[in-house]
Amino acid sequence: MHATAQAQPNIALVKYWGKRDAALNLPAAGSLSITLDALHTRTRVRFDDSLDADDIALNGEHDATQTRKIDAFLDLFRARAGIATRAHVESGNDFPTGAGLASSASGFAALAIAVDRALRLELDAHELSMLARRGSGSAARSIFGGFVEMAPGTRADGEDAFATPLLDARAWPLKVVVAVTSRKKKAVDSRAGMETSQRTSPYYRDWIATVPGDLDAARSAVQARDFEKLGAVSEASCLAMHAVMLATRPALIYWNGATLECIQCVRALQADGTGVFFTIDAGPQVKAVCLPDDATRVADALRAVTGVEEVLISGLGEGARIVEDAHACA
């Protein structure tokens, strides 16, 4: 009753920020993302009859809040398997955790795949995406590789709220240059932030109303491999989400000075004809999505921006999968 899985973070191009049901973690609108290949979460799960409680180590640390969250997540699988057995979970990331690099997406996707195998449930990818969503909305997308669309669904039980692959990574091998401007854990996590935005931001309803149109535009840009159109809609979705965040009370300001410098750097590159656009999540890192031939130029330019601590170049990667049963990274 053990298995090890690996998953990669995904970056939303059409963003998810707000829920239609908090208990089932149902998004208020759809989203569209790309799964990365250069950052990894590896998770090992072992069910053990002798345990009285789940034993959970994330990046080598035991944290009470995370343990409660993962406990509840494991219960969803235990209910399906009809067992009460507790588990050892060891999970590690080879990138900063909780810093706007989508560690919860890869974390819950890897956990869902590992638990499914350990318990021999053999759930299909859509069921796994739905279960991953219960851990974190963005995790539903990391079950798949390449370009992925998350459906918000309309059913109250959430059975139609799962992700679906849109286009294989190899069919349009874009690159993502990640400019890390801070490794600190963010002050307000996505879950708490979006709940406050939903309650207090005067722009929240207008933001949700923009998503279906943005999704249509992004989906057709992906299908047509239209980089310029995808860039325009992605930057607009990102900035609209950050406008909602800024207008939240109290304000959610996830950017630092270097974040804005990176945006200006991407704009200058665009003006020079470089194939690049930016997107930013609930954190200060800037992700510059670019055409493969332009990745080195974009990375060099972002590395030269004051305040950028590190630049990573990633391709697009596969979805979550079972790997050799070895120790978790970290």
Binding site for ligand DP6 (CB under 6 A): 12, 15-17, 25, 31, 104, 136-138, 190-191, 281-282
User: CB of residue 204 vs ligand DP6: minimum separation in angstroms?
Assistant: 14
CB of 1 to ligand DP6, least distance (A): 27
CB of 300 to ligand DP6, least distance (A): 27
For 41, phi then psi, to 5°, come to -115, 135
Q: 31 vs 274, which CB is nearer to ligand DP6?
A: 31
Nearer to ligand DP6, 27 or 301 (CB): 27
In what side-by-side order are the strands of the sheet with 310-314? 276-279, 286-290, 175-180, 310-314
Q: Could you give the C-alpha distances from 171 to 141, 146, 316, in angstroms and in order? A: 18, 9, 10
Q: 8 or 136: whose CB is closer to ligand DP6?
A: 136
Report the nearest approach of ligand DP6 to the CB of residue 267 (Å): 21
Tell the residue number behind the tokens 């410098």, with chain if given.
261
| Residue 222 CB, nearest approach to ligand DP6 (Å) | 16
User: 6: closest CA among 129, 135, 94, 134?
Assistant: 94
In sequence order, what E strands does 228-318 have?
A: 276-279, 286-290, 310-314
* Residue from 180, 183, 178 nearest 299 by CA: 178
169 Cβ partners below 8 Å, 6+ apart? Answer: 35, 37, 145, 146, 147, 315, 316, 317, 318
Which residue number, 190 or 274, has a Cβ lying nearer to ligand DP6? Answer: 190
Q: Residue 222 or residue 269: which is nearer to ligand DP6 going by CB?
A: 222
